[in-house]
Structure formats: C-alpha cells, structure tokens
Amino acid sequence: MNDTTTWPGMQFGIFTVSDITEDPTDGRTPSEAEKIRNTVTLAKHAEEVGLDVFALGEHHNPPFWSSSPTTTLAYIAAQTERLIMSTATTLITTNDPVKIAEDFAMLQHVSGGRADLMLGRGNTGPVYPWFGQDIRQGLPLAIENYNLLHRLWREDVVDWEGKFRSPLQGFTSTPRPLDGVAPFVWHGSIRTPEIAEQAAYYGDGFFANNIFWPKEHYQRLVTLYRQRFAHYGHGTPEQAIVGLGGQVFMAAKSQDAVAQFRPYFDNAPVYGHGPSLEDFSEMTPLTVGSPQQVIDRYASMRETFGDYQRQLFLIDHAGLPLKTVLEQLDILGGEVVPVLRKELAKDRPADVPDAPTHANLVERAGGAREARPNANRGDNLTGGSPYQDTPAPAGASFGIGR
C-alpha cells in the first residue's frame, strides 16, 4: 500500500464504538458476524466518499464486538489505499504496552504507514480485573504504561522497571516502527486533566471526544492541553495537535432527520433514556438536521477550540441499519466535509501544523531510518546479538513453541 497523502490542514473521518444494538423500528438485532462485516463495508465506503480516517473502538464485553482492533484494521487496510487506520480507543491501562508496541508497529508496516492510535482508559470498570488490574490505579497505569510504550518505539534496546508489570532487560520490540518513526499517538479523554497533561508532556495529540457533555467542558481540557504543550517547549499553544469527536444524523429536511433519528435516540442505551433529543442536541455537539445545519455547527468549532487537526463523527451506533449509515456517509462525504474543509481552512495561520501523517512525521524526523539488525539490538532473552558466533547460555530458549 502507498502511504496516505499529506492532507492539507485537517483530517475528517468516522469512528465506531462497535455496539450491537437492537433496531427499535423493527426489533431486529444483527449478529456479531454481520456487524463485523458491516464495519468493514463502512470503512471501505468512508474512503470511497473521500474521508481520511476510520477509527475503531476497543471493548471486551457485550454488546460490543471489537476486542482486537488491530486485526480488523489490518484487514481494512488491505482493502483500502488512502484511509488512515486509527482507534477510538486503545486501552493503555489493561493492555500490555509491549503488545501495543508490537501490534501497532505491525499495523504500520502492513498499511504502508496509514496507522495511528488513540489511547484511553476506557469507560467499562469491570475490564480492569478481567486483565488483572485495579481500576483504582487507572491513572498511574496510564502514565506508567505509556512511558514504557513511548520508549519501546524509540529505543532499540530497553531496560525498564516499573510498578505494574515485570521488568525488561535488553528488550527489543519487533517489528521496529516503519521508517524508524513511531505511530502518532492521540491521548483521548472526556473528563481527566491528567491525560491532557500527559499528551502535552510528550508533545502528542489530544483528542476530546466531545459527544456527551457541553462544549465548555471540553474547552477547558483543550485549553489546558494547549497551555501545557507550550510549557513543555513543543511550540505555541496554537501549534498543539487537537482532535474532536462529534455526532450527526442528516436528511435533506431537518424535520425528516429528527423524525428518523428519534426512535434510535430514545431507545439507545448509550443515551441513558435521559434528556430529550432536543435537549441533548442543545447541550452537546449532537446535530440532527440538514447538511447545512451540520456544516454551520461544526464550522463554528474553531471559535471554541481554535484551529485543530482531526474531526471524527460517530454515525454507526444505536441500532442504525447499514443502509442508513451508508446513506449518512454519502451525505457526509458528498455535501458536508468538502464544505467544512474549505470553511476551516479559511484564515488558518501558516504556522498551525497539518494533521499528522506518517509522511510528514518522517519528514519532521529528518527522513526515514532503516531498521538496524546489528549488535546494538540484542535478543530478548540475553541482550546479546542473535548473529554472534558464541553459543547461547545453557538452557536458553529462543521462544520456539512458547
């Protein structure tokens, strides 16, 4: 696959949380197999209508199916040419950072660099003990695990010791990142300032998934991230890398959009059977109406958050059938995103960075670097070179059959 082009200014895409929900209009619930197939279809169509990013959530409990996002994303990457594969989110608290390093470096290679990831702590409390962790340690886990992940992608040989996993001695994560450049990382949060601080410290991206709360809440997090990004010397606050979530449902006539979406909103567990559709739309970025209403709403995001780099929309949830979601994609790609690209490019300062891609990350790093399979990259057991002529220590295993 060819690497994606460097999109001017911003990236637009969709994300799915992989829920399997009954369609309230006909009482039908799709199977896991059907929903997985539908998600692949959805991602491929996202590229066809001109979107830039497809992001997939991670869950380990019903009614969600996406427990292994990189497997699905690699399959989608093989059937697309430009689309960036991402996550929404990857659980930095309950996944082993060594496995994250391996999986996403592999996804980088098989996609030709069209891969990044969004890290988060998740919103399902029971997942922690399922993977041997304590939810009360959620923040320390996120901080320590990412520190290790960050090093695994940037250091050929890692010696490391922490609180939450066994130490590493002379460890080399394989495969090495494509062209010697780590996948771009977004730190996702809906409420936690410590995550905004973490993103700023490393100079990574911050993704505010503003789909449930008023924009003022997320504005505070983004402002904090921008200030701390500058504090750590990565650039001005305006040069920080920001992504936003969003939700839309559209029809040519706004009243038709409201009528079509209302049964899904009223019955979807994610909305908690709380505020009315009208109240929720007023309080949050959920926009149910005409394409022009969506354009107006999301073009105004810059007034609240400043110039930003990535806008993802949730359109596949709440039991909406595939036919309807594909129609929403047609409107999004055909009528909404082309106008938003132009609107959000107007008067965009020249020093505001473009959205991150593998190509511009390689350029920023001074060019691609080849993997270095030599003596400074030892085997993961002894730290010694796998190419040396000296015999292995007695009893040493090279992992065959393990």
Report pLDDT digits (tens) over 269-312.
Answer: 777 677 899 999 999 999 999 999 999 999 999 999 999 999 99
Question: Which residues in 167-190 are b (16+ Cβ under 10 Å) and which e?
Answer: ebeebbbeebbbbbbbbbbbbbbb
**Are 115 and 183 a contacting pair, CB within 8 Å?**
yes
Please say if the pLDDT value at position 382 is more than 60: no
- Across the chain, mean pLDDT equals 87
Domain ranges of the chain: 11-364, 372-402
Q: In the structure encoding, which two tokens stand for residue 368, read together?
A: 């691609």
Average pLDDT, integer, range 134-144: 84
Four-residue CA torsion sign, 133, 135, 140, 141: positive
What are 169-204's pLDDT values in tens digits? 999 999 999 999 999 999 998 778 899 999 999 999
Q: In the structure encoding, which two tokens stand for residue 86, read together?
A: 């991402």
Give the number of other CB atoms < 10 A from CB of residue 280: 17
The C-alpha atoms of residue 158 and residue 139 are separated, in whole angstroms, by 23
Q: In the structure encoding, which two tokens stand for residue 71, read together?
A: 């497997």
The reported pLDDT for the residue numbered 383 is 42
Residues belonging to the chain: 402
The reported pLDDT for the residue numbered 120 is 84
Please say if the pLDDT value at position 74 is more than 60: yes
The fold for domain 11-364 equals: TIM Barrel (3.20.20)
Name the phi and psi angles at 227, rounded to 5.
Answer: -65, -45
Distance of CA 352 to the CA centre of its chain: 21
* Listed ranges 17-21, 212-216, 229-233; the one with the highest mean pLDDT: 229-233
Please say if the pLDDT value at position 380 is more than 50: no
Question: Which residues in 75-110 are b (16+ Cβ under 10 Å) and which e?
Answer: ebbeebeebbbbbbbbbbbbbebbebbbbbbbbbbb
Please say if the pLDDT value at position 207 is more than 70: yes
Q: Locate tokens 């799915």: which residue?
A: 16
The reported pLDDT for the residue numbered 395 is 30
**Are 178 and 109 a contacting pair, CB within 8 Å?**
yes
From the number of C-beta atoms within 10 Å of its C-beta (0-12, 13-18, 19+), residue 136 rates as exposed
Please say if the pLDDT value at position 367 is more than 60: yes
Average pLDDT, integer, range 322-343: 97
357: nearest Cα among 91, 52, 50: 52
The reported pLDDT for the residue numbered 372 is 59
* Residue of higher predicted confidence among 394 and 303: 303
Please say if the pLDDT value at position 381 is more than 60: no
What are 39-59's pLDDT values in tens digits? 999 999 999 999 999 999 988
* Cis peptide bond N-terminal to 175, omega within 30: yes
Q: In the structure encoding, which two tokens stand for residue 5, read together?
A: 């082009």
The reported pLDDT for the residue numbered 99 is 96
The reported pLDDT for the residue numbered 212 is 78
The reported pLDDT for the residue numbered 136 is 80
The C-alpha atoms of residue 329 and residue 324 are separated, in whole angstroms, by 9
The C-alpha atoms of residue 293 and residue 289 are separated, in whole angstroms, by 6
Question: Which residues in 249-274 are b (16+ Cβ under 10 Å) and which e?
Answer: bbbeebeebbebbbebbebbeebeee
Name the phi and psi angles at 396, rounded to 5.
Answer: -70, 140
Split at pLDDT 50, 70, 90, the class of 157 is very high
Split at pLDDT 50, 70, 90, the class of 377 is very low
Average pLDDT, integer, range 79-107: 94
The reported pLDDT for the residue numbered 123 is 64
